[in-house]
Amino acid sequence: MANNKKIYFASDFHLGVDVKLTSRDREKLIVNWLDTIKNDAAEIYILGDVFDFYFEYKTVVPKGYVRLLGKLAEISDAGIPIYFFIGNHDMWIFNYFEDELGIKTFRQPIKKEILGKTFYLGHGDGLGPGDKGYKFIKKVFANPFAQWLFERLHPNFGIGLANFWSNSSRNKHKIDESEFLGAEKEWLIQFCNEKLISEPEIDFFVFGHRHLLIDHVLENGKSRYINTGEWMTKSSYAVFDGKELRIMNYEL
């Protein structure tokens, strides 16, 4: 790999919902960002919740997102590896990204060596203590029979119902996502510190889900927890050049 190549991490685009920008305008912004980074990207990690809701039918592609999907296909076809992590809002993505776009998909966090450093990567949902209600719901939604039942619904009704659930979930957690709660209350920080007891070699934990820009040194004094933030208001991402891992914001 050339010395000037970089590793990019981003999450929580939440396409399908209008916030600071409309979903369509935010999609265009993300595509512009991908165009900007593709020339020096060695790998791109997308850490979940790309869509505010997405259900992958066997023979039907949900309406929208053609600009993003086309750009991801273009970058993948150019030989730049893209790794896609399923989030809690798009957990019903199955094989489409791998079969049609050539993008490897992960449902669980992974540990990986990148440019001489050890990374632990995932969306971040369901990790650490607490949030038992969500963990139960996730098991229900991950159940193949529940997925089969949802697929029996007409998309006009099923997707509308799912968007209602998604909006309700986001509004419920809006307060928690507004500020850093402190190391003793942040579940992902607790998870990272526990993980380091058995796997002290991990240098960086990189997650999404929290919707906050976080760069936190963990209890061992050297490993860091990085949260990539979100694209609904901040358009933030992380980049690693082999020496430094930085959080950045993208603006046209």
pLDDT tens by residue, 74-88: 999 999 999 999 998
The mean per-residue pLDDT over the stretch 130-147 comes to 64
Burial code (b: 16+ CB inside 10 Å, e: under 16) for 132-145 equals eeeeeeeeeeeeee
Beta strands in the chain (DSSP E): 6-10, 41-46, 82-85, 104-106, 110-114, 117-121, 204-207, 213-217, 224-228, 236-240, 245-249
- Would you state the pLDDT for residue 86? 92
Q: Cα separation of 221 and 214, whole Å? A: 16
- Would you state the pLDDT for residue 188? 95
Q: Is the pLDDT of residue 168 over 60?
A: no
- Would you state the pLDDT for residue 140? 61
- Would you state the pLDDT for residue 78? 97
Query: What percent of the chain has a predicted confidence (pLDDT) above 90?
Result: 63
The mean per-residue pLDDT over the stretch 153-166 comes to 61
213 and 233 in contact (C-beta within 8 Å)? no
Q: Cα separation of 67 and 56, whole Å? A: 18
7 and 115 in contact (C-beta within 8 Å)? yes
The mean per-residue pLDDT over the stretch 202-229 comes to 97
- Mean predicted lDDT score pLDDT of the chain: 87
In words, the CATH class of domain 6-249 is: alpha beta
- Predicted confidence band at 152 (pLDDT cuts at 50, 70, 90)? low
